[in-house]
Structures are given as C-alpha cells and as structure tokens.
Amino acid sequence: MIKIAPSILSADFSDLRSALNLCDAGKADYIHIDVMDNHFVPNLTIGPAVVKSIRFVSKTYFDVHLMVTNPQGLLNAFAKAGANGITFHIEAVDNPGSLIDQIKSLKLEVGISLKPATPLEKITPFLDQIDRVLIMSVEPGFGGQKFIESSLDKIRQLNHILDQYRLQDRVEIEVDGGIKLENAQDVIG
C-alpha cells in the first residue's frame, strides 16, 4: 500500500498551522518531521517543543526522523511531545538493538534510516524488530536536492529482502528526498 508523508521541512515555518491543515485535508497518512542537529548533518531544524506545539493542530501520525548524533538522548522528549514513531539513522548508533528496545518501551513505532551510500546489510539483522525502513534518496541535511537514481536499486533490493524474510506485509519502505511527480511512479515501482 502506498502512503503519503509530506515533510514539514518543506512548509512555511511562519505558518505551520496552514501546512498541517492542508496535510490533514489531503488525507496525508503521516507527517514527516525532520530533526537535524547540525552535527550528524550540516543543518539545524526543530526540536520537541515545536512537535508538541503542532501536535495540538494535527492528529495525523507524526513520523519523527532523527538525523542526529545522539538519538537516545531525544527519545523521551519526542515521545512526550506527541511523536507516533521514531526513525533513527543506522550510521548514528553503535547498538541499534538497544535503541530499538528503548523506542518500543515508549510505545512508539520504530524506523531505521540509511544514507545513500550505506548498504542494506547494515540493517538486515534488525528488520524483524522494526516497523519501517527509510531509504534516503538524497544526502540527508538539506531539502530541494535531486533524487539519487541508484536509490531505485536499493528499493528493489529491500523489497526482495523483505519478501525473502516474509516481512513485506509488516515492514514499510519509506523513501525520502527528491521525489517529484516525474519520478514518483519509478519510486513506487
């Protein structure tokens, strides 16, 4: 099933209410919330206080994408702020299994994200413990980048792996970056 998850990073930050109302009216499945720390990626975005504020505006599922060096330190704050799911970067943690357990203990869904150059083998041991895989189809840290075409191969490979492990109905694939009307059909496959 195809789901739509608009990113608030693309919204006018002076009018997030209107952007969220538009997402709700358009029946978005998720609101994708990019959190950047200016360390793991070279940009700085929002924190738990903003998520808490916008939670009052929208009841849509909040998918918080932590592009941060220390995701463990932010879990409780984002859970209290109203996140429904936390996605962390496999490249940012030494012990993914422990972080997965911490996220689940907060009653949140779990996602793992990979940068474009990171092989799928890094996440394979954790596939049966998570709810989604986020494939970055641009280098994380900035919006407006061009879609990296090799991401299509990674999506196909991940579909094959999920099928092989009989997880295709349980683990969602999310693709983030550079998706436009011109390439959306290729991404959906």
Please name the amino acid found at residue 75. L
Total Cβ atoms within 10 A of residue 142: 13
Contact 39, 69 (CB under 8 A): yes
Element (DSSP H or E) covering residue 22: helix 16-25
* Active-site annotation holder among 37, 63, 131, 176: 176
* Active-site annotation holder among 34, 37, 63, 131: 34
DSSP symbol at 62? E
Phi, psi values for residue 23, rounded to 5°: -65, -45
Would you call 163 a catalytic residue per the annotation?
A: no
Would you call 176 a catalytic residue per the annotation?
A: yes
State the residue for tokens 């980048």: 145
Among residues 112, 119, 63, which one has the least CA distance to residue 89? 112
Catalytic residue ranges = 34, 176
